[in-house]
A and B are shown apart, each in its own frame.
Chain A
Amino acid sequence: MPLSSSNDTQWALWEVFLQEDEGAPHIHAGSLHAADAEMAIQNARDVYARRGPVKSIWVVPSEEITATTPQDNDSFFDPAEDKVYRHPQFYKVPKGVRGV
């Protein structure tokens, strides 16, 4: 007899995002298992926010996240690589002019 069955502690996986300061972005902290969103928030507090500073927590079902695939990175991000004119350093400004 197995000591833990398949539905034993193996609820859906959730990704946890913490905001550490007012006005700061929410940053991925890790993941956890929970039976529903409310339990995911509770568990996120207990596992990832036992001490401050945490201002806010987001939990998202892991399967709801769509991400880029590393194999396609080269072609996918390539358009951003060779457009120097998108950077301010590309432009010349007459000497002595400030605040442009």
Chain B
Amino acid sequence: MNDEVKLQAFEARINAGGTIEPKDWMPEGYRRQLIRMISQHAHSEIVGMLPEGNWITRAPSLRRKMILLAKVQDEAGHGLYLYSAAETLGIERSELIEQLLTGRAKYSSIFNYPTLSWADMGTIGWFVDGAAIVNQTMLAKCSYGPYARANLRICKEESFHKKQGYEIITVLANGTPEQKIMAQEAVNRWWKPSLMMFGPGDKDSPNSADLMKWKIKLKTNEELRQRFVDLTVPQAQAVGLTLPDPELKYNDEAGHWEYGALDWQEFFEVISGHGPYNRERMKARREAHRQGEWVRVAAEAYAEKRKMLA
């Protein structure tokens, strides 16, 4: 079979709702797009540990500290099984990590903003994990089996992340005046960057057409963003916090919340490494990798020694 015939069969299978597995024939573009997308997703989980790790030692109670530790550990786990899913496409994890540490790989823009107060932990859980769930629920149905299964596993764990964040915000919003102000400030800072997590509109999104055609993505960036807004506005109202958008209003006819324009120039700057915290994040990742080297070497030496004793 020549590639043209294979491609037709491949696309017919995807259009019929089929699932592609690692050993199946796939066009190079599909493989490339998946490696790009899954590795970006994995990097985001790994870098995403940093803004929260910042607050583990400063959590306001032992309960909150245990929860935050568990959440950050989940993110490490998500990163690891996403790297595994990417490896099924014939690329090695060490190469992906190399791409991240040398600054050649992209990851979600949201993690390049600083976490200034404890309320940021609540807001990140509520907004950032909430947005991630909207995205990953879709990805759990994508056409590539290993990625779909990884997202299914992630979604099961991610719902606790969102809930614990919303709980933090609820407590602060019902607390002292200072606490309520702290919650509102965090919401003001994180709202628009969270909306931009879904990426630009599809005409400005260079990969969207391929991703939709091959059912790697099943919904457009705009559809996902709208779903997130519709879910989140009532949640903000329920705890008496406002979202920082004067243009936010409910459209009765459409049954959706309309929201104001987003600053895509800021988004592209952050994505290309010029966000408020890109440099710190990469520095922290590189340091962690260096400081972990003795552990990797020791694990190898230990495995060697056990082999000799066996």
Contacts and interface: CB of A to CB of B under 8 A. Distances in A.
A13 B24 CA distance: 20
A30 B149 contact: yes
A71 B25 contact: yes
B206 to A, nearest CB: 28
Interface in B147-164: 149-150, 153, 157
B21 A70 contact: yes
A32 B80 contact: yes
A3 B103 CA distance: 11
Interface string A58-75: 000000000101110000
B150 A4 contact: no
B97 A4 contact: yes
B74 interface: yes
A69 B23 contact: yes
A8 B94 CA distance: 7
Interface stretch (A47-55, A76-84, A85-93): A47-55
Interface string B292-310: 0100100110110011000
Given A50-B73, A50-B77, A30 B84 contact: yes
A24 B73 CA distance: 27
A33 interface: yes
Residues of B contacting A: mostly: helix
A65 to B, nearest CB: 11
Q: How large is the interface on A (under 10, 10 to 19, 20 to 34, 35 or more residues)?
A: 20 to 34
Interface in B124-169: 146, 149-150, 153, 157
Nearest to B301: A35
B289 to A, nearest CB: 6
Nearest to B85: A30
B93 A10 contact: yes
B3 interface: no
A31 B153 CA distance: 13
Interface of A: 2-4, 6-11, 13, 29-33, 35-36, 38-39, 46-48, 50-51, 67, 69-71
Interface of B: 21, 23-25, 70, 73-74, 77, 80-81, 84-85, 87-88, 92-94, 97-98, 101-102, 146, 149-150, 153, 157, 286, 289-290, 293, 296, 299-300, 302-303, 306-307
The 5 lowest CB-CB distance pairs between A and B, nearest first, are A35-B303, A36-B303, A10-B94, A3-B101, A31-B84
